C-alpha cells in the first residue's frame, strides 16, 4: 500500500511569507507526528496528533508554527512569517496505534527561507 | 534531561568488514529504542525496534542490542556493502514521554 506522502517536496519562501506543508499518512493510522530536521542533525519533535486531537505541541518553536488534522487523516503544518532559521527539512510520520509503535516516515519537505 | 547520543558522527570502512554503531541514552526507564536509516534527501526507514523487555533484535545482516542498565544500544552490521552507506539514527521513546527523541546520527560510508 501507499506510504506516507508529503507535499511539496521542496519549498523556497521569502522571509515573511506564510507556508503550508501537507502530510498524507498511511490510511487508518491513528497517530501522526511532525519533526524538524536541521542539516547534520537528527529529527526534533514538533507536535503529535492522535486522530484529530493534538495531544502534544510542546516542540513547536514559536507561535508562528501551527498544525492541524481536522478529520483525523491529512495534516497541515503552517508556518507564518517565515524566518531564515525555519529553513530545515520537515518530516511527517504516522503509526497505526495510539501508543509507542514503529513510526513510518514520509520523504520530507525541504524548506528554504531566503 | 532525556538525551540520545551517537558517536562517532561519521565512520568510513572498507567493504566486507563487520562494524558496530553506538547509541547511548540518559535515563534507563525507556519504553523502546529504534534504529533508523536515512539516505540523502530521503525520509527515515525503520530498521529494528527493541522493546524495553528485549535484549536484541535481528534482521538479516543487522543485529541491534539493548542494555538499559548502562544506557547503551549497538547496531551491528555484518559483511558491510556499499549499499549500506547512509546515516543511521537511534531514537528512544521513554515511558514518561509522549514523544520520541533522536540522536544526531552516524554517517556511514562503505568503501568498495
Residues B32-58 pLDDT 10s: 999 999 998 888 999 999 999 999 999
Pairs of CB atoms within 8 A across A/B? 54
Give the angle A72-A75-A81 at the CA atoms, nearest 5°: 145
Q: Which of A36, A40, A42 to mutate to test the interface with B (most CBs of B within 10 A)?
A: A42
Residue B36: per-residue pLDDT: 96
Dihedral of the alpha carbons of B50, A99, B39, B8, in degrees to the nearest 10 = -50
Distance, CA of B91 to CA of B36 (rounded, Å): 8
Residue B27: per-residue pLDDT: 86
- Rounded to the nearest angstrom, the minimum Cα separation between A16 and chain B is 26
Residue A101: per-residue pLDDT: 79
Indicate yes or no: CB of B44 within 8 angstroms of CB of A93: yes
For residue A97, pLDDT beyond 90: no
Residues of B with CB under 8 A from a CB of A: 4, 31-32, 34, 36, 41-46, 49, 89, 91, 93, 98-105
Q: Which three cell numbers stand for residue B18?
A: 563487520
Q: Are strands B10-14 and B106-111 parallel, antiparallel or unpaired?
A: parallel
Confidence band, pLDDT 50/70/90 cuts, at residue A1: low
- Rounded to the nearest angstrom, the minimum Cα separation between A53 and chain B is 14
Indicate yes or no: CB of B42 within 8 angstroms of CB of A107: yes
Q: Do A76 and A47 meet the contact criterion of CB atoms below 8 Å apart?
A: no
Residue B40: per-residue pLDDT: 87
Tens-digit pLDDT profile for residues A18-62: 999 999 999 999 999 999 999 889 999 999 999 999 999 999 999
Residues of A with CB under 8 A from a CB of B: 4, 33, 40-45, 48, 55-56, 58-59, 91, 93, 100, 102-108, 110
Tell me which residue in B31, B46, B99 faces A59 most closely, judged by beta carbons.
B99
Tens-digit pLDDT profile for residues B86-106: 999 999 998 777 788 999 999
Query: What is chain A's mean pLDDT, rounded?
Result: 94
Tens-digit pLDDT profile for residues A87-96: 999 999 999 9
Residue B108: per-residue pLDDT: 97
Query: What is chain B's mean pLDDT, rounded?
Result: 93
Q: Do B102 and B90 meet the contact criterion of CB atoms below 8 Å apart?
A: yes
Task: Report the share of chain B in percent with pLDDT over 90.
Answer: 83
Residue B95: per-residue pLDDT: 78
Amino acid at each position: 500500500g501507499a506510504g506516507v506522502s508529503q507535499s511539496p517536496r521542496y519549498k523556497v519562501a521569502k522571509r515573511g511569507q506564510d507556508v503550508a506543508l501537507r502530510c498524507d499518512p498511511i490510511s487508518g493510522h491513528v497517530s501522526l507526528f511532525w519533526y524538524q530536521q536541521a542539516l547534520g542533525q537528527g529529527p526534533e519533535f514538533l507536535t503529535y496528533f492522535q486522530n484529530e486531537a493534538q495531544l502534544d505541541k510542546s516542540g513547536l518553536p514559536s507561535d508562528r508554527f501551527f498544525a492541524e488534522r481536522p478529520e483525523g487523516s491529512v495534516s497541515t503544518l503552517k508556518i507564518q512569517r517565515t524566518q531564515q532559521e525555519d529553513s530545515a527539512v520537515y518530516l511527517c510520520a504516522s503509526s497505526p496505534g495510539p501508543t509507542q509503535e514503529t513510526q513510518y516516515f514520509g520523504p520530507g519537505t525541504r524548506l528554504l527561507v531566503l | 534531561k532525556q538525551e540520545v547520543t551517537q558517536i562517532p558522527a561519521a565512520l568510513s570502512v572498507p567493504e566486507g568488514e563487520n562494524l558496530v554503531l553506538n547509541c547511548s541514552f540518559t535515563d534507563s526507564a525507556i519504553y523502546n529504542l529504534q534504529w533508523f536509516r536515512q539516505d540523502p534527501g530521503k525520509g527515515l526507514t525503520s530498521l529494528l525496534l527493541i522493546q524495553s523487555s528485549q535484549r536484541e533484535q535481528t534482521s538479516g545482516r543487522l543485529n541491534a542490542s539493548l542494555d538499559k542498565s548502562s544506557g547503551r544500544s549497538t547496531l551491528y552490521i555484518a559483511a558491510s556493502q556499499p549499499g549500506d552507506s547512509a546515516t543511521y539514527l537511534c531514537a528512544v521513546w521513554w515511558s514518561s514521554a509522549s514523544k520520541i527523541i533522536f540522536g544526531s546520527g552516524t554517517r556511514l560510508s562503505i568503501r568498495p
